[in-house]
Amino acid sequence: MQIIKNRFISAMQSGLMKTGLYRPKDGWYSYISRDYHVVDYQPYKIGNLPYDFRGPRPDLKENNYVAFTGAAQTFGTLSREPFPDLIKNQLNVDVLNLGTGGAGPLHFLHEELLSEINKSRVAVIQVLSARSVENSVLKDCTEL
């Protein structure tokens, strides 16, 4: 872990993380900036959604793809080939990977995200933990 931390600090100091792809989110760095030396996620944006999605960006026709949404497991953190891509290759279908790190139940409140899911022929939805949602016992982890 210390080696990864040192590489991360070195990349920050050298300026590698000053491009548009490596920007902090509320003081936290995304998987994209953390893992750049292991895997190229080829990040891209969809409209005004606040997330970087894993590329390459697909060229999709409405009602002719499978949408996958979820957290880091769907995104494919540290994986050269996330499971949506494995399914794409095995079944010869177009896929849209809408997985994002740290996604929780509030992830589904974005109208634009729901629109992309609703345009698909089939949706595969990862059941998400509520650890990122504030409640009467636990505070939101972004406040720590």
Give tens-digit pLDDT for 30-88. 777 788 788 899 999 999 988 889 998 888 888 899 999 998 899 999 999 999 999 99
Q: Is residue 43 part of a domain?
A: yes
Do 8 and 67 have their domain in common? no
How far apart CA 26 and CA 22 sit, in angstroms, is 13
Q: Is residue 88 located within the same domain as residue 102? A: yes
**Model confidence pTM above 0.85:** no
Alpha helices in the chain (DSSP H): 2-14, 31-34, 72-75, 83-91, 111-118
On whether both 59 and 4 belong to a single domain, the answer is no
The whole-angstrom separation of Cα 103 and Cα 97 is 13
pLDDT band, residue 27 (cuts 50/70/90):
very low
State the residue range of the domain holding 82. 39-129
Same domain, 30 and 69: no
Tokens of 16: 């590698």
Task: Please say whether the beta carbons of 103 and 70 come within 8 A.
Answer: yes
Whether residue 67 is found in the same domain as residue 8: no
Task: Establish if 139 belongs to a structural domain.
Answer: no
Is 103 contained in some domain? yes
Number of domains forming the structure of the chain: 2
